[in-house]
């Protein structure tokens, strides 16, 4: 796969979670998310237990609560969408008195908002925990180990490798604009920014062509070589399965009650 790339979500450490093989953590995270999504929204207590499971996994991984909570801000757009649901959904209405004002809220909208917030937050938290304990290169190796289509793994690999390259190219173009006295201050400067985006696309496309030709000249035939072969023991699989299996037990209880 080549050299690894550090990312802001990753937090180096030597915890038991960090040491698990990446494909074990990927499978555990996916299983946990599936169980959370399958849980009936009326089982409010179950989502509280799921949050405790995530907190316990974060504690074992030695991930500070503040680090995890800051990364959860990425779901703010979904929170805004969920907040609007009780006001726009149809069906039975319930009145809420706030500061002398009477506000009508949809019961189905309230349940829908809770469903989105609870399941979305838990899914994002599990993903953030995965990214915090696994390097990007290891994630790619884990995806390959789980037999994900090789083409998808390669696309993800190239996105990670050359995302920083494109960002640096954009930064250099921004520096060049500022050195010539340009500062975007209003709508009248949008044309310059649009031209910058077009120039960045052309440069990125040309660089991609050069990279592809260089790869072909070195023997690339549609697949990337694997440098490290990641394996997992039964004990490691058992440790990774603890989270989704416990969550599954909570989900089954939620459906039976």
pLDDT values of the chain reduced to their tens digit, one per residue, 257 residues: 444 455 677 888 899 999 999 999 999 999 999 999 999 999 999 999 999 999 999 999 999 999 999 988 888 888 888 888 888 778 788 777 777 777 788 888 888 889 999 999 999 999 999 999 998 888 888 888 888 888 888 888 888 778 778 888 888 888 888 888 777 777 777 787 788 888 888 888 888 888 888 888 988 777 766 656 678 899 999 999 999 999 999 999 999 88
Q: Does 222 map to a domain?
A: no
Alpha helical stretches, state H, the chain: 16-19, 22-38, 44-60, 65-71, 76-88, 107-133, 136-145, 150-179, 190-217, 234-256
Considering the domain architecture, whether residues 237 and 126 belong to the same structural domain is answered as: yes
Considering the domain architecture, whether residues 125 and 26 belong to the same structural domain is answered as: yes
pLDDT for position 145: 87
Considering the domain architecture, whether residues 194 and 73 belong to the same structural domain is answered as: no
Alpha-carbon gap, residue 112 to 18, rounded angstroms:
35
pLDDT for position 52: 97
Considering the domain architecture, whether residues 132 and 177 belong to the same structural domain is answered as: no
Q: Does 27 map to a domain?
A: yes
Expressed as residue numbers, the domain containing 175 is 149-217
Q: Does 189 map to a domain?
A: yes
pTM assigned to the model? 0.80
User: Which residues pair with residue 95 across a beta bridge?
Assistant: 104
Q: Does 23 map to a domain?
A: yes
Considering the domain architecture, whether residues 77 and 134 belong to the same structural domain is answered as: yes
Considering the domain architecture, whether residues 110 and 183 belong to the same structural domain is answered as: no
Token duo for residue 25: 């953590």
Considering the domain architecture, whether residues 238 and 112 belong to the same structural domain is answered as: yes
Matching residue, tokens 């939620």 = 254
Nearest to 160 by CA among 126, 135, 185: 135
Alpha-carbon gap, residue 249 to 39, rounded angstroms:
11
pLDDT for position 228: 62
Q: Does 3 map to a domain?
A: no
pLDDT for position 245: 96
pLDDT for position 109: 86
Considering the domain architecture, whether residues 42 and 115 belong to the same structural domain is answered as: yes
Considering the domain architecture, whether residues 41 and 130 belong to the same structural domain is answered as: yes
Considering the domain architecture, whether residues 128 and 192 belong to the same structural domain is answered as: no
User: Which residues pair with residue 105 across a beta bridge?
Assistant: 94
Residue 95 DSSP SS3: strand
Considering the domain architecture, whether residues 35 and 120 belong to the same structural domain is answered as: yes
End-to-end CA distance of the chain: 48
Q: Look at the chain and report how many structural domains it folds into.
A: 2
pLDDT for position 218: 84
């Amino acid at each position: 796969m080549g050299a690894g790339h550090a990312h802001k979500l990753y937090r180096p450490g030597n915890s038991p979670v960090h040491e698990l093989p990446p494909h074990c953590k990927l499978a555990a995270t996916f299983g946990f998310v599936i169980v959370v999504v399958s849980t009936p929204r009326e089982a409010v207590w179950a989502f509280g237990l799921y949050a405790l499971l995530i907190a316990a996994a974060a504690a074992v991984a030695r991930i500070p609560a503040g680090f995890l909570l800051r990364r959860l801000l990425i779901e703010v757009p979904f929170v805004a969408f969920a907040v609007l649901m009780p006001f726009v959904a149809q069906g039975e209405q319930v009145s809420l008195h706030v500061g002398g004002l009477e506000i009508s809220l949809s019961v189905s909208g309230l349940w829908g908002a809770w469903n989105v917030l609870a399941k979305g937050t838990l899914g994002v938290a599990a993903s953030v925990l995965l990214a915090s304990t696994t390097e990007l290169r290891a994630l790619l190796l884990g995806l390959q180990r789980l037999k994900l289509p090789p083409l998808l793994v390669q696309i993800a690999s190239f996105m990670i490798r050359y995302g920083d390259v494109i960002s640096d190219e954009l930064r250099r173009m921004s520096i060049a604009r500022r050195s010539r006295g340009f500062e975007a201050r209003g709508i009248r400067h949008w044309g310059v920014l649009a031209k910058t985006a077009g120039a960045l696309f052309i440069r990125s496309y040309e660089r991609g062509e050069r990279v592809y030709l260089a790869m072909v000249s070195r023997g690339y035939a549609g697949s990337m070589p694997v440098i490290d072969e990641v394996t997992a023991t039964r004990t490691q699989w058992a440790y990774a399965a603890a989270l989704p299996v416990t969550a599954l037990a909570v989900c089954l209880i939620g459906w039976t009650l």
